[in-house]
Amino acid sequence: MANRIKDTDYLVISARIKAMESTLLTRERMEQLLDARSGEEVQKILQDCGYPELDAADPEAMDAALAAAREATLSDLADGAPDPRYIDVFKLKYDYHNVKAILKAEAMDTDPGHMLMDMGRVPAAELREAMRSGELDNLPPFLASAVTEAKEVLQTTRDPQLCDIVLDRWSYKDMDAVAEATGSAFLHGYVQVQIDAANLRTLVRTLRMGKNEEFLRGVLFEGGEIAPDAVLAVSAARGGGLAELYAPTRFQATAESGARALQGGPLTEFEKLCDDVVGDYLAGALFVPFGEAPLVGYLAARETEYTNLRILLMGRGAGIDPDVIRSRLRASYV
């Protein structure tokens, strides 16, 4: 029987992460990027954070550079993580992205190559071949089940949106199972808060679209702090009780914003707050000297950083007012 991994086994990688945090894109650095008067000034700030040249005029190249940075981070930390499953939680979403791309390409009789991202647990070419041959035994069990069900749904309904919903549900199930298997309360909490954010976002979106609770039932995820049945009850009441349901949780302010969005308020602010709650949860990692929490927090902070960089650089390139860009940036823990 393998020895149980202890917090102290993370001493070395925790120390590395504390050093690596110095290159994160802090709020101060994002303000500097917003205020920069030239592209050269922007590149200097990004260079100090370890990024290559990122050109918003070429979004495809910029996305490729950000993907390469993401892949390098995951690969770097995978080498020092005592338990690789903490890295898997951040990699597995790319497996599900690739399944979506492959299935859609098959349906349209096109090549998915340009849409695949080789950052999952399973190499993209290997996953593609397994799906082509139907030999799924070597895939992670949840992923294999997801491929089987998604194929059936797509073949039966010809509805790519339903196929995506199936894969998203399996992705969260997979993430939750990996977190549970590690025994980490912090990692499990991270997955749980993401599920709650996704369900709250979906509730408000479906109500704004005029969809009923039966539609919502098919797109909610299990595993959050708020049970799907409680969310469905709010849907049945056409949004009544939304703020009250989330009042005892970390989503209190977000739900209040959601209630305003249902009355015609801005949806952008609400959706940003959903993401910010996840960032606030991760901020707890800053107060943990060693263990898995600093690793999880850092990886999640990098994911938020890649999103923010794209929003910021594309916004600057389009000449969007800095205050508008600022309002769209997601909260990080630095």
Residue 281 CA, distance from chain mean position: 14
**Domain housing 15:** 1-58+292-334
| 246 and 108 belong to one structural domain | yes
249 and 308, same structural domain? no
**Distance between CA atoms of 23 and 46, rounded to whole angstroms?**
9
pLDDT band, residue 214 (cuts 50/70/90): confident
Largest Cα separation within the chain, whole Å, is 59
Is there a single domain that holds both residue 207 and residue 137?
Answer: yes
Instruction: Please check whether residue 302 is in contact with residue 50, taking contact to mean a CB–CB distance below 8 angstroms.
Output: no
Q: Are residues 152 and 29 in the same domain?
A: no
Tell me, yes or no, whether 145 and 285 share the same domain: yes
pLDDT of 2: 44
Same-domain status, 25 and 98:
no
DSSP state of 4: P
Query: Which residues are within 8 A (CB) of 220 and not within 5 positions of it... i.e. 6 or more apart?
Result: 199, 202, 203, 228, 231, 232
| End residue of a domain, out of 272, 291, 310 | 291
Sign of CA dihedral 277, 302, 143, 178: negative
Which residues, in sequence order, are CB contacts of 278 under 8 Å at separation 6+? 190, 193, 194, 197, 300
Within this chain, do residues 52 and 176 fall inside the same structural domain, yes or no?
Answer: no
Length in residues, the chain? 334
What's this model's pTM, rounded to 2 decimal places?
A: 0.85
Angle at CA 44, nearest 5°, toward 43 and 46? 60
- The answer on 52 and 158 residing in a single domain is no
Same domain (yes/no): 48, 76: no
Residues 177 and 102 both lie in one domain: yes
The total number of structural domains in the chain stands at 2
Q: For residue 1, what pLDDT band results from cuts at 50, 70 and 90?
A: very low
Is the same domain home to 214 and 318? no
Q: What is the pLDDT of residues 270-319, one digit of tens each?
A: 998 998 898 888 887 776 667 788 888 888 888 889 989 999 999 988 88
Q: How far apart are CA 98 and CA 177, in angstroms?
A: 20
Give one word for 110, left, alpha or beta, with left for phi > 0 and alpha for psi -120 to 50.
beta
Q: Are residues 263 and 325 in the same domain?
A: no
- pLDDT tens for 65-119 read 888 888 888 888 888 788 889 999 999 999 999 999 999 998 888 999 888 998 9
Lookup: tokens for 66: 């950000």
Residue 5 pLDDT > 70, yes or no?
A: no
